[in-house]
Structure 1
């Protein structure tokens, strides 16, 4: 039988079969020398994998006459998929195939001359061998590339889905720790076995990234897929420092992410170059980790570390880019939460500094008040309350609400509260006060509208955005949607309720500007909503406000509040008002207890809006504390008035104020007789101080003036101003009242200080 090329190749393969181990070792040496990176992954490249290919080639050549082609190893497709999962390029596998082909082909070509000296047969067998080996490598490469691309595409789709999921799951709130925990939970579910997030302590307190060494970090969030394996040595909210040269310290210093394979030389057992504060010393369970600094707005916020100790795949370069993308989104959300937290703290500090801290001394009402900021992400609002002592032992009770949230709303609230106090000092009736306050809000709106275009021009980009930058970034989108001070830059809106209670007449005059009406609980125990004209909200302009007067017997309870108390997502306003009335009726008499009971009954754990609550229990000044005289418009009655005042002071035990009160009353009554109109009335009120009031029907306001040396008069009001602790004028619908407040510390002024009237 004539020998053939197929037969010669079969004999050569059979001869090499006994040397398969040597051939495998030769291929392995070649690949380790040329492609050392493949040997990092035993599931892709190992001696057994090479032996499978060597056996496949030799067996295929030995039985070539039967099959006509060499069968590929069954596990090669899965190894190509693993190569894709490790993020290695497919060209690495293709080169490995060619290198292995060269080693095996050389061995077969060396074996052929030993089996025959026929040059034609050797040439035919060589051509056949090259053809078969090339076909084998081509089919292996094609199969491997197909599997690699399928796995790579699957991995890319998975990464895109995880990134998309991250954009929806991370940053759902403006809570710093919760946002960091959302990043941790997502990573544990998708690609990591343990995750930690640490923020710089200086950043948490509003500072920039410090240059000091060592850096102080606070553990914000952490989680391990299996509790206790490996053990987390740092607890949440615990402070710790970065050891010199540790991966997290380098990431914070350089701003660059890094990937680490943790073997015996890197594990924190004392033998490695840098200790890792996250795991127990000597723990051999961690295989690899990724360290990513958290950056936002050119500021380093902290660092996130992702570990693998249960998953078979080590982190690779593709994982590094993928994790970096997710960490960047998380950093934007954490930065937004930090900015919101700092802005909220600033607004709260500003608001508390502007709100009433201690109730002023007055005897008209017993008061208690509460302010609660919103528990949601809306931010601090512009709710406020106030208690303002007025002349005649009266008191003004105020509650208001500025539209919007943030520092701007708190600042606007402070300006309006100051305006209300200023208007209250001139003793305007409630409806007139709200009219003037409406003008103030209109001016504030005009100022805000004028500032808005200037700020927009200052913040506008100097160059037109390119097509690539036309779409907002994820960071910018998060910022725009949750900026705690992102309010309309134009109109300023507010509501207000202003009430004046007189303990002498036991009557309360109220007016409201778009505000919720107060609730009153009278002595019969029934709670009613006062029927007040609604009035327009402040800032509309040109619309009237109307006052209404109610009698409030001594011991009545009146509650002023903002709409956040009665409005909530789980019930409407009517249900809130019903609950408020019930809580007021069921409460104990003390206003402090009433406030606590109302808040406990109506408020959820996290209110949707700011809440201001002011509760007052009315008091009354009895007839034994008030003395009134009608005065004739005749200068001769002044002496009799002084005598009446002296007797009344003696009855009250205020003999020490006899001279001062007689002098002040004389001046006030004399001015009313000379410059006012009848009827004239004198009233003394014995409260914490002595209040002297003289009323007449004239609307002319008295004022201090400088009298010349030759003038015989013009110094009366100046004497009143010197003797009285304070004095002033208030106007009524008809006429006016000039009042002065005296106490026992009043002393006769020095002559040199007397100015003309």
Structure 2
């Protein structure tokens, strides 16, 4: 008991055995001392008799003596626990019982009985008390002998079935409860009998006679009973029904598994299958997940009726069964499961409310029909007896239904099961809807990026080119990587690879804007470093207009887009390039060895950094330029890419050194070797094998700054056209040469040079040392001049100006396929 007062009230319920008696007078003075008291407290009689009893108690309990004396007088005695002091000063906890001892005609005395409680299991209790405790206990209690046969049980144990206490006598557990795991329980009993160590908290799950066809859980504890000599007599065990607690724990565990296993991807079908996998075995025996066709496409469910008056088609997205092969399913994954109009699944889909049936009509037609054979099955054939249907709803949209069946487990679904199923499906529904929304956005982003990326690289003679693009996986989404090949004047080409941070439609749209800007700047024939400088200004200005805070100027890769811009001239085999926060290109030499361009790494676009620097190098014919985004090398180690990392470059070097029959196959082999099927980041790879225009396709002349040389230039051009078999272009070429050379002589300075290039078009170039570009004019009829470039623009398919170190080049192109004007 918790207090001395409670012990006082309960004193008449206990017998104190083996007590040491002593006598006190009315003043609390010891008048009689016994050998038992001496053994307990180690005082001899002469040391105690005649002294107050308070000297035998601890200081705390001695202070309570006046109060206890009053209670003894008032109540006729007292019983409780006190702390006494032995002669050596050691405290000892004693059970004290005080009762009046009045002699005839004498003064009142008090009989005090002391019982040592140190090391005792508790108060020695009467048989009546013990019987009341075990017989009336709400906990099921039983005792078995060493042969594990029941010798006693209380009434509470009858709640679990197996008969009354009299019917249990002499029977083993397997005879009393044939449906439970008697072998496992008896194994615990034998272990307790052998070791003497109790087993506490043993949990048994199964069916008992009191609850057939229903899984129950019980907590059991086992303790060995020994006789006076310490020999085992049997096992005392208790049983407590914890079925509700067990079911609550199972529900929480199921929801925890659902949180861990459902929605690990953004794939709708995989998410539906994860829902079915989680629910089977521990909750249901067969689960099917059916979704609307529009949901699988990532679209919103179509408004209006679900179908015609006879059948409503859904698409089977996932199912699972406790039986291998899912024999209960009448439609395979991806096939159409057609439900009869008015059937419970269609009603749940229409109303958005769940439905439960504890016992199905075994002869009822199944709701779904096999699309292959039109088979109609009964629930009796399928072995299904209890069902729940829960609509898959998220954000006010019903996307499909999940159906839970029980087959092996005879316990029908109850309201708690329906509540759990609704919670489970609601969690999965959010994941399905997220996957649906992602599918819609990803499809839109893919369409956008495919339209923004080049459908086919333009034909030209400067390089043989191959490209490969691999989008990111479904968890990260589509990114903003791009590549391009842009024909330039003078048979040159620009090779571009870039990337925009982020994923999704925004990244794809930003990529499209940058790609358009690059093509526009390329048309101006600007050097690579100037192209990047203009792009840098464009990105920074766009960020300011959109309210994006400026990035830290530390060359951080994720601060802005990256780009590498390369210009290759097939006439002299020279290549010029610049980079903005982007990996430098690799070069595969004609002999198969691989090197990397020592290219200065400029800051990402839009980041305030130093001016961009360009490098120029000569490439042997048959060399392969390899331009790539950093996603190509972000799949080893920690998943990051260092644009100058030796380990990443070594991986790329090994992949590039592997020979392939064609450049296109080589490009794909490199990507397959370095990138998984679903990479974390987008990957773009552009490979360009260089070509050279032979001397038979290029002719040039140095011209003095003398107007008389114009006629000679026309004659040389006519002679060269005759060698090339292009006499039909002689008239227009003479006109172009005459006007361009004349303009250079009149308005420019320095050396003048005329060059003809026979590529896919006939290119006429005139270079001089001037720094000003000519402008096209539209003269009036009375003007005497100003018609030169106007005529050139009329007769040529294109013309322009590009600046080079030491001057400029004015060029004009004529088609070799279209008839001359």
Tell me the TM-score normalized by structure 1: 0.73
Residue 742 in 1 paired to residue 814 in 2?
Answer: yes
Alpha-carbon distance in 2 for matches of 1:731, 1:547: 15
Residue 162 in 1 paired to residue 254 in 2?
Answer: yes
Paired residue secondary structure (1:227): coil
Whether the 8 Å contact between 1:268 and 1:276 is mirrored in structure 2 is no
Paired residue secondary structure (1:384): strand
Q: What is residue 501 of structure 1 aligned with on the other side?
A: 568
Residue 634 in 1 paired to residue 706 in 2?
Answer: yes
Whether the 8 Å contact between 2:471 and 2:678 is mirrored in structure 1 is no
What is the CA distance between 1:391 and its match in structure 2?
0.3
What is the CA distance between 1:299 and its match in structure 2?
1.1
Q: Gaps spanning 5+ residues in structure 2: where?
A: 1-157, 168-176, 180-206, 217-238, 551-557
Residue 667 in 1 paired to residue 739 in 2?
Answer: yes
What is the CA distance between 1:313 and its match in structure 2?
1.1
Decide which moves more: 413-422 or 336-345. 336-345
Alpha-carbon distance in 2 for matches of 1:275, 1:172: 29
For residues 696-735 of structure 1, what are the structure 2 equivalents within 5 Å?
Answer: 696-735=768-807
What is the CA distance between 1:332 and its match in structure 2?
0.5
1:743 to 1:569, Cα distance in 2 relative to 1, 3 A: closer
Decide which moves more: 522-531 or 320-329. 522-531
Whether the 8 Å contact between 1:369 and 1:612 is mirrored in structure 2 is yes
Alpha-carbon distance in 2 for matches of 1:637, 1:540: 51
What is the CA distance between 1:159 and its match in structure 2?
1.5
For residues 175-214 of structure 1, what are the structure 2 equivalents within 5 Å?
Answer: 175-210=267-302, 211-213=305-307, 214=311
1:308 to 1:567, Cα distance in 2 relative to 1, 3 A: same
Residue 351 in 1 paired to residue 449 in 2?
Answer: yes
2:577 corresponds to which of 510, 524, 532: 510
Alpha-carbon distance in 1 for matches of 2:713, 2:598: 43
- Deviation string, structure 1 residues 306-332 (Cα, Å, up to 9, x no partner): 110111210011110111001000010
1:174 to 1:542, Cα distance in 2 relative to 1, 3 A: same
1:284 to 1:236, Cα distance in 2 relative to 1, 3 A: closer
- Deviation string, structure 1 residues 581-615 (Cα, Å, up to 9, x no partner): 22322223632122122123222233221110111
Q: What is residue 544 of structure 2 aligned with on the other side?
A: 446
Whether the 8 Å contact between 2:330 and 2:337 is mirrored in structure 1 is no
Q: What is residue 622 of structure 2 aligned with on the other side?
A: 555
Q: What is residue 684 of structure 1 aligned with on the other side?
A: 756
Q: Gaps spanning 5+ residues in structure 1: where?
A: 1-48, 61-72, 87-145, 453-490, 750-757
1:81 to 1:157, Cα distance in 2 relative to 1, 3 A: farther
Residue 321 in 1 paired to residue 419 in 2?
Answer: yes
For residues 223-372 of structure 1, what are the structure 2 equivalents within 5 Å?
Answer: 223-227=320-324, 231-264=328-361, 267-268=364-365, 280-281=377-378, 282-283=380-381, 285-372=383-470
Residue 151 in 1 paired to residue 239 in 2?
Answer: no
1:260 to 1:276, Cα distance in 2 relative to 1, 3 A: farther
Decide which moves more: 570-579 or 492-501. 570-579
Which is helix-richer, 1 or 2? 1
Whether the 8 Å contact between 2:287 and 2:404 is mirrored in structure 1 is yes
The count of residues paired between Structure 1 and Structure 2 equals 585
Whether the 8 Å contact between 1:579 and 1:601 is mirrored in structure 2 is no
For residues 72-111 of structure 1, what are the structure 2 equivalents within 5 Å?
Answer: none
Decide which moves more: 373-382 or 319-328. 373-382
What is the CA distance between 1:290 and its match in structure 2?
0.7
Paired residue secondary structure (2:602): coil
For residues 382-393 of structure 1, what are the structure 2 equivalents within 5 Å?
Answer: 382-393=480-491
Whether the 8 Å contact between 1:439 and 1:541 is mirrored in structure 2 is no
2:531 corresponds to which of 427, 433, 455: 433
1:291 to 1:549, Cα distance in 2 relative to 1, 3 A: same
Whether the 8 Å contact between 2:564 and 2:579 is mirrored in structure 1 is yes
Whether the 8 Å contact between 1:81 and 1:151 is mirrored in structure 2 is no
Alpha-carbon distance in 2 for matches of 1:433, 1:543: 15
- Deviation string, structure 1 residues 722-746 (Cα, Å, up to 9, x no partner): 0001111111233111100012567
Whether the 8 Å contact between 1:388 and 1:396 is mirrored in structure 2 is yes
- Deviation string, structure 1 residues 34-57 (Cα, Å, up to 9, x no partner): xxxxxxxxxxxxxxx99x99x979
1:74 to 1:587, Cα distance in 2 relative to 1, 3 A: closer
Whether the 8 Å contact between 2:778 and 2:790 is mirrored in structure 1 is no
Paired residue secondary structure (1:215): strand
Whether the 8 Å contact between 2:360 and 2:387 is mirrored in structure 1 is no
Whether the 8 Å contact between 1:344 and 1:380 is mirrored in structure 2 is yes
Alpha-carbon distance in 1 for matches of 2:609, 2:549: 24
Whether the 8 Å contact between 1:587 and 1:597 is mirrored in structure 2 is no
Structural RMSD (CA): 3.1
Paired residue secondary structure (1:361): coil
1:283 to 1:344, Cα distance in 2 relative to 1, 3 A: same
Alpha-carbon distance in 2 for matches of 1:378, 1:229: 33
Alpha-carbon distance in 2 for matches of 1:515, 1:255: 52
Residue 596 in 1 paired to residue 668 in 2?
Answer: yes
For residues 611-630 of structure 1, what are the structure 2 equivalents within 5 Å?
Answer: 611-630=683-702
Residue 378 in 1 paired to residue 476 in 2?
Answer: yes
Alpha-carbon distance in 2 for matches of 1:508, 1:589: 26
What is the CA distance between 1:284 and its match in structure 2?
5.5
Q: What is residue 16 of structure 1 aligned with on the other side?
A: none
What is the CA distance between 1:531 and its match in structure 2?
0.6
1:409 corresponds to which of 493, 507, 510: 507
Q: What is residue 124 of structure 1 aligned with on the other side?
A: none
Q: What is residue 632 of structure 2 aligned with on the other side?
A: 565
Which is strand-richer, 1 or 2? 2
Whether the 8 Å contact between 1:627 and 1:685 is mirrored in structure 2 is yes
Whether the 8 Å contact between 1:628 and 1:684 is mirrored in structure 2 is yes
- Deviation string, structure 1 residues 66-100 (Cα, Å, up to 9, x no partner): xxxxxxx999x9688789979xxxxxxxxxxxxxx
1:348 to 1:340, Cα distance in 2 relative to 1, 3 A: same
Paired residue secondary structure (1:651): helix
What is the CA distance between 1:283 and its match in structure 2?
1.5
Q: What is residue 693 of structure 1 aligned with on the other side?
A: 765
Paired residue secondary structure (1:242): strand
What is the CA distance between 1:748 and its match in structure 2?
7.7
- Deviation string, structure 1 residues 124-150 (Cα, Å, up to 9, x no partner): xxxxxxxxxxxxxxxxxxxxxx977x4
Alpha-carbon distance in 1 for matches of 2:213, 2:741: 104
1:428 to 1:229, Cα distance in 2 relative to 1, 3 A: closer
Whether the 8 Å contact between 1:403 and 1:494 is mirrored in structure 2 is yes
What is the CA distance between 1:562 and its match in structure 2?
0.9
Paired residue secondary structure (1:449): coil
- Deviation string, structure 1 residues 14-53 (Cα, Å, up to 9, x no partner): xxxxxxxxxxxxxxxxxxxxxxxxxxxxxxxxxxx99x99
Paired residue secondary structure (1:598): helix
Alpha-carbon distance in 2 for matches of 1:228, 1:508: 62
Alpha-carbon distance in 2 for matches of 1:634, 1:240: 87
Alpha-carbon distance in 2 for matches of 1:386, 1:228: 50
Whether the 8 Å contact between 1:385 and 1:400 is mirrored in structure 2 is yes
Whether the 8 Å contact between 1:171 and 1:330 is mirrored in structure 2 is yes
